[in-house]
């Protein structure tokens, strides 16, 4: 079974990429759906209808299956190399995966609300909400690549600085959009 490890790892990575792509784009569609809900008729109805179809196809055909397959292949990899579970970097990575699953489930809730015409968040909130998987992605990639070589203090400070830079970038972008 060991000879299949690189293939399983490759499939795991492919589905992680498609999962993140879906998460990034679905929240962008949420932004557009929220903004469309504030437009006058008939523009509002036309945009809402099209955006609901786009969101539904992305969420149900790409994002959900990608999450399930990424987790399936990830668990398979862990079953092949159970000794990774004892490593601190893997435990931290799994904590980030858990956070990503929670994020995904929150997106599911927002998706259902928007599909039913219920808008509970602003487009600005959604733009900030869309940065959470970016922080998780950076954290996990550095964690997996550096493994035990990671200095936890520098890593933590780095993630905080990265999050601050994202927020500053968002504020600059918001000011530009409002002009």
Tell which residue, 9, 26, 143, has the closest CA to residue 87. 143
Q: What is the pLDDT of residues 102-139, one digit of tens each?
A: 999 999 999 999 999 999 999 989 998 998 999 899 88
Q: For residues 76 and 2, give the distance between their C-alpha atoms in angstroms, rounded to a whole number.
A: 11
Q: Which residue has the tokens 């995966």?
A: 97
Q: Does the annotation list 104 as a binding residue?
A: no
Give the pLDDT confidence score for residue 153 in this predicted structure: 67
The token duo for 134 is 């970016």
Whole-model pTM: value is 0.88
Q: What is the DSSP letter of 122?
A: -
For residue 40, CA distances in Å to 22, 44, 47 come to 29, 6, 11
* 136 to 11, 72, 109, 142, 173: CA distances (angstroms): 20, 19, 20, 10, 22
- The whole-angstrom separation of Cα 134 and Cα 166 is 9
Over residues 8-17, the mean pLDDT reads 98
Distance, CA of 135 to CA of 133 (rounded, Å): 5
Is the CB of residue 20 less than 8 Å from the CB of residue 5?
Answer: no
Domain ranges of the chain: 2-178
- Which residue from 105, 136, 99 is spatially nearest to 26, judged by alpha carbons? 105
Closest by CA to 138, choosing from 106, 160, 112, is 160
What percentage of the chain exceeds 70 in pLDDT?
97
Closest CA to 101 of 75, 77, 121: 75
List pLDDT tens digits, range 160-173: 888 889 888 888 88
């Amino acid at each position: 079974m060991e000879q299949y490890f690189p293939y399983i790892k490759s499939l795991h990575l492919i589905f992680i990429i498609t999962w993140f792509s879906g998460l990034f784009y679905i929240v962008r569609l949420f932004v557009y759906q929220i903004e469309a809900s504030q437009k006058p008729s008939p523009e509002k109805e036309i945009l809402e209808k099209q955006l609901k179809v786009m969101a539904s196809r992305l969420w149900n055909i790409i994002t959900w299956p990608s999450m399930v397959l990424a987790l399936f292949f990830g668990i398979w990899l862990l079953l092949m190399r159970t000794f990774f579970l004892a490593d601190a970097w893997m435990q931290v990575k799994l904590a980030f995966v858990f956070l990503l699953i929670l994020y995904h489930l929150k997106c599911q809730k927002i998706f259902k609300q928007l599909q039913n015409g219920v808008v509970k968040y602003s487009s600005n909130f959604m733009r900030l909400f869309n940065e959470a998987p970016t922080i998780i992605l950076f954290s996990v990639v550095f964690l997996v690549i550096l493994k035990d070589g990671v200095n936890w203090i520098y890593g933590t400070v780095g993630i905080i600085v990265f999050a601050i830079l994202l927020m500053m970038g968002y504020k600059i972008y918001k000011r530009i959009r409002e002009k």
